[in-house]
Structure 1
């Protein structure tokens, strides 16, 4: 089984927008469904979903294609995309093992009973007696299951993004010299590192961390270390006697630049490469009400749009969870009432402009993907429960 699937399968199970893999080694795997999801699905499965709960422009069918995401498909059929157990329950009888969805599979809505029931397969097929019946076309397409959100966008952040409570990288191993004294290093070139690098052979490379400050209070919430690339140790450093034997010489460790997101330079810090993060995403709305603010746009940008990354000033200590779907708001502007002599100054209502998907949570800061936004997202914008 692909190493990427353990992260996706429990999510797919919660969604239920999927067919059953009936051949191949993964078909026997039975990933758990929570009691709450199963209970909701069973209740909905008894009668289907009211047509009023469908998205206004829900199509009769949708053929899954490469590049689709589960979030996008959910929005096609339902008004509230995170109500995934209900979508699964729309076809609980047919989808008994809802773990995988692949390009080429067809999802279609059966509205014949006045309620919506999701089917997997071809919409209709003659059974030879004049009756029409659904036809399922299961496929075993290895390593091609689609993700909840664009994994190509958030994938690097699952292991590369780091927010520290304090600037802990000050004492970390660091690049002290470069190949032939170059200012910037590219892939395959040599870097010389000073510090204790005995823990591992492969290391992540970070730029000096910058503080993340609360847009309202100015308080430092943490230090964001920007990922530069990956380096591999070629030769350990040492302290050896000088040529005259009277003093010692410090010889830094030798590293090769294995991969880069941007060019490396003297002063960049090293940290051990963390294990791959396979924890499942289960998109859901937060419990209760809350308010948060955009802290920064990743990549030193001033504004963000769809499929870009932002940080918000709420983390695990505030109850933030991976998979939270959040509403994004633009503050109402001031306006003057020109219809009266007092020319009263008014504050127009805040406007909901988009949605965020939280995918990585630190103590006081979280990273979120902009799923959709009608306007540019910037520092200080309001974030609430959907």
Structure 2
């Protein structure tokens, strides 16, 4: 028996490690005190029936490909009120990040309030019956992981590519200075050389392979300044992602003896290998250390404090208007209290027109109208990336956003 349990423990550890490597463990996130307080309150009282979505189902089976956002929107009018959905099912779902395909959800409307359960209303109220337990083999496919909050396909490409840097980082970023055999363009598998230290005032740190120094870098071209639509302030620079490189040797200096016998020092640039190439690279392109991988926790919720701002740019700048599942940059970041998971309403700017009913032909501006929803999935100091969730008409630069309630 001890051997069996020892073997079971080894298998459990192996599965846990494999789940971590494939990102499944990223679903096991801590719950904030505010979210838990809201959930506890709703668990006691339920939610008013008027808050339910018009076509909220009496029961639902979670399917592969579902998201917490979609499930929340199925039962509630406002999907960002996720903590309330959790509170409706607090007894059965201890961790809302652990909802799996195949799980049954039942809507209980008794008593004039709505609660969500993992068993049919009335089940489990009596004494439990006898359950016969026998040994059996249990297996679970890694594809049946807990459902994510949002569709990973909509966001993950931007986590590995998009990057906003401040002016100092941009100016002092190491640059590619040469390629082997005089090549002009670089692609995957090529070797190149880079420097981080210059004699000018824009000099940064030397590229080094010393312990604790970064070895993995993203390669980007001259970044685009992102300006606040209202003040004109440059809030950051959006780097154009070209690929990834690995530092093989750090930069250094050496001594060389000339024909006249004099010894002088010479600069030896760092050596890098191109690992990933989305576009061909060239001399002058810059390097920035690969940021740490973030856990994909996007718990939809409305900001606690009043929040408003404007859309600065549409990612990629290839289109004028953003549609659903496209990424935009907003002019609010960590310094403004923005957090990952904040859901905000997009407002279409009111048109300025002439009042033709007024003999003075007064210029008036129509009120801003709600145009959709966005969710913040990555926040920097002064800017954030957000995914457009719902939209009635195209979203453009300059459109405003505010609290969704």
Structures share fold, TM-score greater than 0.5: yes
Q: Report how many residues are paired.
A: 353
Aligned equivalent of 1:120, options 106, 118, 121 = 118
Match for residue 361 of structure 1? 379
For structure 2, which runs of at least 5 residues remain unmatched after alignment?
1-15, 124-137, 197-205
Residue matched to 1:171: 172
Once the two structures are superposed, the pairs formed by residues 204-223 of structure 1 within 5 Å of their partners are: 204-223=218-237
Larger radius of gyration: 2
Distance 1:363 1:200, change over 3 A: closer
Change (3 A) 1:305 1:261: farther
Residue of structure 2 in register with 1:261 after alignment: 278
Distance 1:117 1:190, change over 3 A: same
**SS in structure 1 of the partner of residue 153 of structure 2:** helix
Q: For residue 334 of structure 2, what is the aligned residue in structure 1?
A: 316
Deviates more, 1:145-154 or 1:207-216: 145-154
2:210 paired with 1:200: no
Match of 1:133 in 2: none
Q: What corresponds to 1:374 in structure 2?
A: 392
Residues 274 and 37 of structure 1, relative CA distance in 2, 3 Å threshold = closer
Please show how residues 55-66 of structure 1 align to structure 2 within 5 Å: 55-66=53-64
**Aligned-pair CA distance for 1:384:** 0.8
On the 8 A contact 1:8/1:148 being kept in 2, the answer is: no
Match 2:70 to one of 64, 69, 72:
72
Structure 2 residue aligned with 1:21 = none
* Alpha-carbon distance, 1:324 to partner: 1.1
* Paired residue secondary structure (1:304): coil
Q: Which has the higher contact order (CA 8 A, sep 6+)?
A: 1
**Residue aligning to 1:272:** 289
Q: 1:37 aligns with which of 35, 38, 41?
A: 35
Q: In 2, are the aligned partners of 1:159 and 1:275 still within 8 Å (CA)?
A: no
Task: Compute the displacement of 1:113 (Å).
Answer: 4.8
Give distance in 1, aligned partners of 2:285 and 2:265.
Answer: 26
Contact kept in structure 1, 2:43 and 2:89, CA below 8 Å: yes
Q: 1:315 to 1:121 in 2, by over 3 A?
A: same
Matching residue of 1:29: none
Q: CA 1:279–1:64 in 2, change beyond 3 Å: closer, same or farther?
A: closer
Is 1:46–2:44 an aligned residue pair? yes
**Aligned equivalents of 1:242 and 1:152: distance in 2?**
57
* Aligned residue among 28, 31, 50 for 1:9: 28
| Paired position in structure 1 for 2:83 | 85
Secondary structure of 2:186's match? Answer: coil
Once the two structures are superposed, what CA deviation does each residue of 1:26-68 show, in whole Å capped at 9, x if it has no partner? Answer: xxxxxx5444434433332234322211112223333333332
CA contact (8 A) 1:105 1:121 kept: no
CA shift for structure 1 position 329? 0.8
